[in-house]
Chain A
Amino acid sequence: MDNKYIESMLSEMDKDLSAQGMSRRDAMKLAGLSSAGLFLGATSTASADEEKIVKNDAKAKIVIVGGGLAGISTAARLTLNLSNPDITIIEPEETSASYQPGQTLVGAGIWDADDILYKRDDFVPDGVKVIKERAILFNPQKNNLTTETGQVITYDYLILAMGVQLDFERIKGLEEAGRAYSSGNNDKLMNALGDSICSIYTAQGSVKTWEIMQKYIAQAKSGKKTKFIFTHPSTPIKCGGAPKKIIYLTNARLKEEGARENAELTFYPNGGAMFGVPEYHDAIVGQFKREGIKHHYRHNLIEVDKEKKIATFDSKWQEKGPWDPVMKDFEVIPKHEKLRVPYDFLHVSPAQIAPREIAESDLGSAKGWIPVNKETLQHIRYENVFSIGDVAQVPMGKTGGSVRKQYKVLVDNLIAHMNSKKLEAKYAGYTVCPLITDIGTVMLAEFDWTVTPTPSFPLDPTVERWIFWLMKVYALKPMTMYGMMSGRA
């Protein structure tokens, strides 16, 4: 970890706090370090409830596919809530429990690779069995699935938490990259990306991002004009703020090296706005303007020429169409063309899709995601199947912050179903994105399906604050790894 920033921030914090008669310890407590129940979207009532867990005697064989944050947190919570839990996790990757939100910080050289690397087996709750294989066939009509070695696993309840695949292979020029998961060995992907293309969306890729970033910051520092290009794909992605966080951190590192004036930073998002919540969109546009970061909406990366260092985007726009006499309104005609953009440094946020085996099974929707009731997280066709996290077809739910709300709802509803009771727990769409806007500041974007800010703190949520940076760097990881992964936070 880069201690220089931490010391500088702590010093600033102490100055601010002492002016208000508050100690650092009290401030951290307020921010949630000591009490995860007071942290991000939780209430004191919820905190009190957590201390009164009454074990339920219902029995069932529960299989969880996926041993990442969502899968393990759910297993842990079920273990806490059931007197006789019979839980099996199916997860082939031994580092599946790694701390993904830290990949941005690794990508900017603030954390080291070791700061985010965690082993699945260190977090699997006592008594929970692990099958270290991939599930490849699902037969929900017969309540079983098959692993890659042909083991047929039966279940009473199935929880799908296998996350997303990173679809680099759809970009022409990167076909050999294939599809990747965030954790695990991604040598093939690294080789395919080469020395000027990077992505923080894998743990390995975040390390390489920092290497490549330093190389091109040095180039800019040497006086050569250097183009930094950043993308955002045409699919839902995990942590929608991440593509912007790495821009802000690149910007911060360039400024720190005195190389900013020779660098041109440009963001090409596929969508037509910076953020789905207007308040945060406006704030980000203002930050981009302040920092001199360019952006061009409605550009989707479709091809790269690694030798010539050209990124090709599908550039889209709309034109006013003919009058529609039936609807009594003008039509809107979508147009598009290819746009070739030269780059020195290219950060790719890849398209993200449901794992093939789910998309091709009866459990997946037409788009591959698992169709669940967005409030109860129960599958819309199979009442003994639930889904959570990135793979679930829940709007705006692909963050760890969403999982933190979802896994308790899922466990409550699953146990209710085991007891033939109504599913009463409801997920309200809460999502949190600590948007790093500089080294030392974070805008804490919290929102739900009302598409309005839902701040946990009595502070203007569109303001970048150092206290949230401290929260991001210090508090979130322990809360996630030791609070959520133990089923308590």
Chain B
Amino acid sequence: MQIEFELVTYNEALDTFELDETMYQMEISDEDAQTYELLKSSDLNLYNWLKESEQFINYIREEIYPDSDKKKVAISDINGTTFRRFYFFKVTSGDSHYEYFKKLFGIHEESDWQDREEIGEEILESLLVKRQELIINLEVNTMDDNIDEEA
């Protein structure tokens, strides 16, 4: 089975994300395909599974960004499941994104009083933390490498 995915690159200095705008494809094993089927309806579980996958990270390191070992990236789309709102959410974003993040971050809208802008700011505050969990650091762990070399 193949998975199709897109990436965003993270600019640490500016704390911004940029779409890579290339659709990548990677072949996964039958066992991974089964895992994918189990996780595909749960977007963040799917994300975390891929983020922890050595095969996936190595594919990005070796096939996509072979010359950028200090690069930080994040997944923007996997087989039609999108994560773009994590990186590009704005106070003016559409209602569906508000609903998604309110549920994710446990923001209980007391619609008696809360403004869209206020909830939007709250979402952005929570995203500052959440985004860091999603970022994939492509830097090779030099300490481990050294140990390997010494061994």
Contacts and interface: CB of A to CB of B under 8 A. Distances in A.
B112 A271 contact: yes
A275 interface: yes
Contact of A331 (B93, B108, B110, B115): B93
Interface string A251-280: 000000000000000000111111110000
A49 B39 CA distance: 42
B60 interface: no
A223 interface: no
Interface in B95-116: 95-97, 106-116
Contact of B114 (A271, A329, A330, A451): A271
A334 interface: yes
B95 A332 contact: yes
Contacts of B90: 324, 331
A234 interface: yes
A316 interface: yes
Contacts, number: 87
A275 B114 CA distance: 11
Contacts of A125: none
B3 to A, nearest CB: 20
Interface in B32-84: 82, 84
Interface in A320-334: 321, 324, 326-334
A237 to B, nearest CB: 6
A276 B115 contact: no
Contacts of B107: 395
Given A330-B94, A331-B90, A275 B111 contact: yes
A429 B108 CA distance: 10
Nearest to B125: A366
A232 B84 CA distance: 36
Contact of B111 (A271, A330, A331, A449): A271
A234 B113 CA distance: 5
Contacts of A234: 113, 115, 118
A interface residue count range (under 10 / 10 to 19 / 20 to 34 / 35 or more): 35 or more
Nearest to A270: B113
A329 B111 contact: no
B116 A276 contact: no
Main secondary structure of the interface of B (DSSP, over half): loop
A149 interface: no
B19 A276 contact: no
Contacts of B111: 271-273, 275-276, 281
B146 interface: no
B92 interface: yes
B106 to A, nearest CB: 8
A240 interface: yes
A141 to B, nearest CB: 24
Interface in A328-375: 328-334, 374
A321 B93 CA distance: 9
A331 B113 contact: no
B27 interface: no
Contacts of A333: 92
Chain A interface secondary structure, helix, strand, loop or mixed? loop
A233 interface: yes
Contacts of A92: none
Given A324-B93, A334-B117, A232 B112 contact: yes
A331 B112 contact: no
Given A326-B84, A327-B84, A271 B92 contact: no
A184 interface: no
B112 A240 contact: yes
B104 to A, nearest CB: 14
B113 A334 contact: no
B130 interface: no
A332 B112 contact: no
B88 interface: yes
B85 interface: yes
A237 B113 contact: yes
B27 to A, nearest CB: 27
Contacts of A237: 112-113
B108 to A, nearest CB: 4
A185 interface: no
Which of B85, B90, B106, B107 neighbours the largest number of chain A CB atoms within 10 Å of its CB?
B90
Nearest to A320: B94
Contacts of A233: 113
B115 A232 contact: no
Nearest to A450: B108
Interface of A: 232-237, 240, 269-276, 281, 316, 318, 321, 324, 326-334, 374, 395-396, 429, 449, 451
15 contacts: A234-B113, A270-B112, A270-B115, A271-B115, A276-B110, A318-B116, A324-B90, A327-B85, A329-B93, A329-B94, A332-B95, A334-B117, A395-B108, A396-B110, A429-B108
Ranked nearest first, the 8 interchain pairs of A and B with the lowest CB-CB distance are: A273-B111, A395-B108, A329-B94, A331-B92, A271-B112, A276-B110, A240-B112, A271-B111
Given A240-B110, A281-B111, A327-B93, 9 more contacts: A236-B110, A237-B112, A275-B112, A276-B110, A316-B115, A324-B94, A326-B88, A327-B84, A331-B93
